[in-house]
Amino acid sequence: MPSKTRIVIASKGPAARLRRAFARAGHHAEVVPLARVVDAVQDGVEAVVIMAPRAAVLAAARRLKTRFQMPLLPVVALVARPARLPEQAGPDAWIPSTTRPSTVVERVEELVRIRGAEREMVRLSATLAELAAENGRLYDRARRDAEATALLLRELQHRVRNNLAAIQALLVLERHRTPARPLAEALDVAIARLRSMAALQDSFRPDATAVDLAALAQAVARGALDVFGATEKVRCEVTGSCTIASPRAGAVAIVLNELITNALKHAHASTIGVSIRASDGAGTTELVVFDDGIGIPAQPAPGSGLMIVRAVVRNELAGTLAFLPSERGTRVSITIPTAARERAHGAAVGASAPGA
């Protein structure tokens, strides 16, 4: 037991000899009337010795053991042990009142050491319980992270597969183009299309559900200008902004790339723009791609990128394409229904089908 341990001696009579014995052993003993024993036990008190008749000892011990967090407080009764121990909380040790004070001190020191070890075990048990709870939380978090990672990997695999399928389809279209392009031009067009797919990947995070159209248009335009060496010659401006669902963003990137590429290769434009506008009331998003070039011929050349644009807008985006009046150059409007409107349209079509 550490030196200067605080002991409370609750007595109905003289307790000077016992107090001196504790003092000789290096402890601080305070003698208080039995009626004040509960109030005398404050923080730092390590043990209580009660010198009183048996009934008074039992009553005082019961009050001490049930007060606050005192079940581990050693309580020693300096009275003979009863033949039958009480069922309720009682003293931790019974020492006859005729016992030498030095022996009483030794017994109290032993109890204090035992109770100190028990308190340490309680503290360690609480610490272990906290660690177990924290381990449980960490396990749940790791499980959720693993599930999220697996979901992201599946989504990434799905997007890569879709992009590869789109690239393959574009290359097949180019192979069967009539008339065939010169090899260098065909490679430039293919590179521009690949750049548009790369721009799409740069425009969203793996966990994103939507893509910002302005950022996508800027990235596609930069790639096309770079491929055709027009970065310093042609100005590109993007106005407006809204988002589109990630699964549809690839089709939008293809459409933007084909229209911007046409403006660079055939219209000899010095300015190319993309205007983006969302109409919540109509449930649509409108993209207008315009330039200040020579304009589109009344009969576009067969196999041009417009064929790809029309097919993608109609089949992949369920949208419409229109040429708008323009004093100079070309203005192409692409109207894309939102996902909610597209679902509603599909449901209406299904309901009106025979046998629906």
* 249-290 pLDDT, tens digit each: 888 888 998 898 888 888 888 999 999 998 877 789 999 999
| Residues contacting 259, CB < 8 A, separation 6+ | 289, 305, 309, 332
The reply to whether 247 and 314 lie within a common domain is: yes
Output the pLDDT for position 21: 92
Which of the residue ranges 80-84, 89-93, 299-303, 345-349 would you say has the lowest mean pLDDT? 345-349
182 and 89 belong to one structural domain? no
In this prediction, residue 124 carries a pLDDT of: 87
Give the pLDDT confidence score for residue 205 in this predicted structure: 55
What contacts 11, CB < 8 A, 6 or more positions away?
31, 32, 33, 34, 50, 51, 52
pLDDT band at residue 159 under the 50/70/90 scheme = low
Q: Which stretch of DSSP H or E encloses residue 332?
A: strand 331-337
Of 246, 250, 253, which Cα lies nearest the Cα of 152?
246
Bridge partners, residue 30, by sequence = 8
Same domain, 219 and 305: yes
Distances (CA, A) of 334 to 118, 261, 288: 78, 16, 6
Has residue 141 got a pLDDT over 90? no
The pLDDT of residue 70: 60
Residues 99 and 189 both lie in one domain: no
Domain check: are 182 and 306 in the same one? Answer: yes
10-17 LR contacts (CB < 8 Å, sep 24+) = 10/34, 10/36, 10/37, 10/40, 10/48, 10/49, 10/50, 10/51, 10/52, 10/60, 11/50, 11/51, 11/52, 12/51, 12/52, 12/53, 12/56, 13/51, 15/51, 17/101
**What confidence score (pLDDT) does residue 355 get?**
42
120 with 182, same domain: the answer is no
Q: Does residue 108 sit in the same domain as residue 231?
A: no
**Residue 204 confidence (pLDDT) above 60:** no
In this structure, is residue 169 part of a structural domain?
no
User: Both 186 and 324 in a single domain?
Assistant: yes
Are the C-beta atoms of residues 77 and 91 closer than 8 Å to each other?
yes
Same domain, 106 and 19: yes
DSSP 219-261: HHHHHHHHHTT-TTT-EEEEE---EEEHHHHHHHHHHHHHHHH
pLDDT in tens, 164-181: 776 777 677 667 666 776
pLDDT of residue 347: 44
- Taking 50 as the threshold, does the pLDDT of residue 187 lie above it? yes
My answer on whether 199 and 283 are in the same domain is: yes
Q: Do 264 and 228 contact (CB within 8 A), yes or no?
A: yes
Task: Provide, rounded to the nearest whole percent, the portion of the chain with pLDDT above 90.
Answer: 17
Residues whose CB is less than 8 angstroms from the CB of residue 159 and which lie 6 or more positions away in sequence, other chains included: 201, 246, 250
From 126, 156, 185, give the residue that closes a domain: 126
State the CATH number of the domain containing residue 14: 3.40.50.2300
Count how many domains the chain has: 2
Return the closest-CA partner of residue 275 out of 258, 294, 256: 256
Q: Above 80 in pLDDT, residue 303?
A: no
Residue 100 lies inside a defined structural domain of this protein: yes
Range(s) of the domain holding residue 32: 6-126
**CATH code (residue 273):** 3.30.565.10
pLDDT in tens, 45-77: 889 999 999 889 888 888 888 775 566 788 999
Clarify whether residues 23 and 118 are in a common domain. Answer: yes
Do 5 and 28 meet the contact criterion of CB atoms below 8 Å apart? yes
So what's the pLDDT on residue 350? 44
Q: At a CB cut-off of 8 Å and minimum separation 6, what does 301 contact?
A: none
- Confidence grade of residue 302 (pLDDT, cut at 50, 70, 90): low
Residue 54 three-state SS = helix
> How high is the pLDDT of residue 240?
92
Which one of 108, 126, 144 terminates a domain?
126
How far apart are alpha carbons 119 and 108 in whole angstroms?
Answer: 16
Preceding peptide of 91 cis, ω within 30°: no
Given 126, 146, 168, the domain boundary residue is 126
Q: Would residue 139 count as lying in a domain?
A: no
* E strand or H helix at 279: strand 271-279
- 267 and 333 part of one domain: yes
CA geometry: angle 190, 193, 198, nearest 5 deg: 125
At residue 345, the pLDDT reads 43
Mean pLDDT of the chain: 80
The amino acid occupying position 208 is A
Inside any domain, residue 149: no
Between 33 and 296, the higher pLDDT residue = 33
Q: Are 101 and 17 in contact (CB under 8 A)?
A: yes
Q: Is residue 80 part of a domain?
A: yes
The answer as to whether 152 is a domain residue is: no
- Give φ, ψ of 3 to 5 degrees: -65, 160
Look at residue 274 in the predicted model and tell me its pLDDT: 94
Residue 168: inside a domain, yes or no? no
- Residue that wins the pLDDT comparison between 252 and 43: 252
Q: Read out DSSP for 130-142?
A: HHHHHHHHHHHHH
pLDDT in tens, 19-28: 999 999 989 9
Share of the chain above pLDDT 70, in %: 81
CB 119 within 8 A of CB 69: no
pLDDT for 67 equals 73
